[in-house]
Amino acid sequence: MNKTVRRLADGRRITYYDEGERTRSRTAVDTRDLPETTAMSEIRRDPLTGELVVLAAHRQTRTYKPAADLCPLCPSAPGRPTEVPEADYDVVVFDNRFPAFSGGTGHADVVCFTSDHHSSFTELDPRRVRTVLEALADRTAELSAREGVELVFPFENRGEEIGVTLHHPHGQIYAYPFVPPRTERMLAAARAHRDERGTPLLADVLKAEWAEQRRIVAKGRHWTAFVPPAAKWPVQVLVVPHRQVPDLVELSTAEREDFAEVYLSVLRRCDALYDKPLPYVAGWHQAPVHRDRDLAWLHLELFSVRRAEDKLKYLAGSESGMGVWINDSTPERIAERLRAVG
């Protein structure tokens, strides 16, 4: 992989990650007349629950469902400059123009997986998936070294049903200035399990899934994909490495190669469920930057709101109001259906 760092017209950073045999000279200049980025976000604590809430009012004006020929994530063309000045790219990462975190309270990246507007992560070949992983690992390392960053969360939102407003295949990376509550709960569970049994929680979960087999969707030499035993969502899959590592940086070459095969198998099964692209969120749970790295176990979580071909799961009173989830299916049935369409 070849890495090239450049600057956009407003000073934001853009990084190209090119696959070896397709190395290009990255010299294109962003010709747009852009004002310097002045986005500011604020973090407040809910006095009733202690939860942190990010206020980012500038995001109200972000780009919303543009036509394909106006997509800001496609390569630039004569007379049509975009966020990517080059005429083509493999994988590119740049500072978000409308970041959720800014002004010294974290950071937000945009990650484009391919220059093909009409493609998807599911359609990437294993080599490109590895390039994406290398880019995410590189940015994880760089963002983790920044003052004030406590956790790095790479993720992809796919589908209008999820809330996607740009259809080009892309994801984001959030560098949180605090450890999010979901991570805190997972760390607490891992700590309690280790204190009681002396073993890592996900190691024992993997052993149980291998023994039972009913919830496993796909398995490789280094990764297992399974539906969690208390799945909240109509479709939910964890993709877990067989070795405990804290973050993407620590994955070996063999683990990255095997992940590409296992994850693509999962995505293709998801799309085959209803014979159309499945809307989903897929995010990497990584260790906090400064603490509890011995407790954390890197894994990817994918979930979807689609519960039937023509039905979506809405978070209603119990889920939204009280945080108590009700699933209309069972984890075993979800896994059975994903295996059957393989």
The residues that are catalytic are 170
Using CA atoms of 196, 202, 206, 211 in order, give the dihedral in degrees to the nearest 10.
20
- Asked if residue 242 belongs to a known ligand binding site, the reply is no
> Cα separation of 304 and 281, whole Å?
6
- Asked if residue 112 belongs to a known ligand binding site, the reply is no
- Asked if residue 270 belongs to a known ligand binding site, the reply is no
> Cα separation of 122 and 129, whole Å?
10
Question: Binding site membership for Zn(2+): which residues?
Answer: 71, 74, 117, 168
